[in-house]
């Protein structure tokens, strides 16, 4: 029963009681919550109060409600790891110092099962807008190769990525052919095949709520934000010549761990 003398509204009290077994793991992913009628009886509250409580948990990203089937605890396991070391590993692969590239798009290591990963892609020639032009140090309107990727782990969509390469660099090369994806060693290996050795990768990370298209594509639950990564790959002796820009890499925030290793010595 709820406490009528509490400062917390009744629906918040119900949400708190339902949240507890979810957070403790007593109710694992996929567990079905009691029905509205059962919750009304259990807590002695109205249907409106139950719906507000369930809505609060849904807004927190803890549960999913399926029409005609009820509400279920969401899978919140962060089964992907985006690490700075993946670029280092691919660079070592290009240099011949390791036998295999990193697994797919930022998986946790080169020995991970590649059969878990799937990639959808589409390539188009476009004209650089102001943001892309600034990132690639080219002029607005210059031709660029736009590459859109949708990455899956265990058939669940996990990442949307849109990246750009100067068209003059990749035109009529294997890098411009989507049939060659996934390319072992990723973009670093692709650029190496064009004679461009990546010497620095710069990433900026921010959080925001997903657009309707992103929420639909990535199956992002209500109330869950996304992480947005903007990336530049640079080359040259001074590490200041941009050759690739990702605008943006979008990931559901509840499914990813961002690990960065910072070496303080050259």
Q: Report pLDDT digits (tens) over 81-132.
A: 677 788 888 899 999 998 888 765 555 455 566 778 899 999 999 999 999 9
* Domain interval for residue 56: 10-73
pLDDT of 30 > 50? The answer is yes
Domain count within the chain: 2
| Other C-beta atoms lying within 10 Å of the C-beta of residue 86 | 24
pLDDT at 260: 79
Is residue 5 in some structural domain? Answer: no
pLDDT at 78: 64
CA-CA distances (angstroms) from residue 38 to 35, 41, 43, 67? 5, 5, 9, 18
pLDDT of 36 > 80? The answer is yes
67 and 146 in a single domain? The answer is no
Model pTM score: 0.76
Task: Answer with the one of 31, 55, 73 that is the final residue of a domain.
Answer: 73
Q: 261: Cβ–Cβ under 8 A, 6 or more apart, which residues?
A: 83, 84, 85
**Tokens found for residue 88:** 């280092």
94 and 139 in a single domain? The answer is yes
129 and 27 in a single domain? The answer is no
What percent of the chain is predicted at pLDDT more than 70? 93
More confident residue, 226 or 67: 226
130 and 97 in a single domain? The answer is yes
| Cα dihedral sign, 93-97-99-104 | negative
pLDDT, tens digit (0-9, with 9 covering 90-100), for 172-212: 999 999 999 999 999 999 999 999 999 999 999 999 999 99
Is residue 265 in some structural domain? Answer: no
35: nearest Cα among 21, 50, 13: 50
32 and 117 in a single domain? The answer is no
57 and 105 in a single domain? The answer is no
Is residue 197 in some structural domain? Answer: yes
d(CA 192, CA 184) in angstroms, rounded, equals 12
């Amino acid at each position: 029963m709820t406490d009528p003398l509490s400062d917390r509204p009744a629906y918040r009290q119900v949400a708190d009681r339902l949240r507890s077994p979810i957070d403790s793991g007593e109710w694992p992913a996929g567990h079905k919550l009691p029905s509205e009628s059962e919750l009304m009886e259990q807590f002695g509250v109205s249907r409106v109060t139950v719906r507000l409580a369930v809505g609060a948990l849904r807004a927190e990203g803890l549960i999913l409600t399926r029409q005609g089937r009820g509400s279920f605890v969401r899978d919140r396991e962060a089964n992907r790891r985006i690490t700075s070391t993946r670029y280092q590993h691919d660079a070592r692969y290009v240099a011949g110092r390791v036998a295999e590239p990193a697994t797919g798009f930022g998986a946790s290591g080169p020995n991970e099962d590649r059969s878990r990963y799937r990639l959808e892609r589409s390539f188009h020639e476009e004209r650089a807008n102001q943001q892309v032009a600034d990132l690639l140090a080219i002029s607005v309107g210059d031709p660029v190769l736009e590459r859109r990727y949708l990455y899956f782990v265990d058939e669940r969509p996990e990442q949307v990525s849109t990246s750009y390469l100067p068209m003059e660099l990749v035109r009529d090369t294997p890098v411009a052919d989507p049939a060659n994806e996934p390319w072992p060693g990723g973009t670093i290996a692709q650029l190496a095949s064009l004679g461009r050795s990546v010497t620095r990768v710069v990433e900026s990370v921010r959080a925001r709520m997903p657009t309707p298209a992103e929420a639909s594509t990535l199956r992002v639950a209500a109330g869950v934000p996304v992480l947005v990564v903007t990336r530049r790959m640079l080359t040259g002796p001074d590490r200041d010549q941009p050759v690739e820009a990702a605008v943006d890499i979008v990931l559901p925030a509840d499914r990813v761990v961002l690990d960065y290793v910072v070496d303080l010595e050259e």
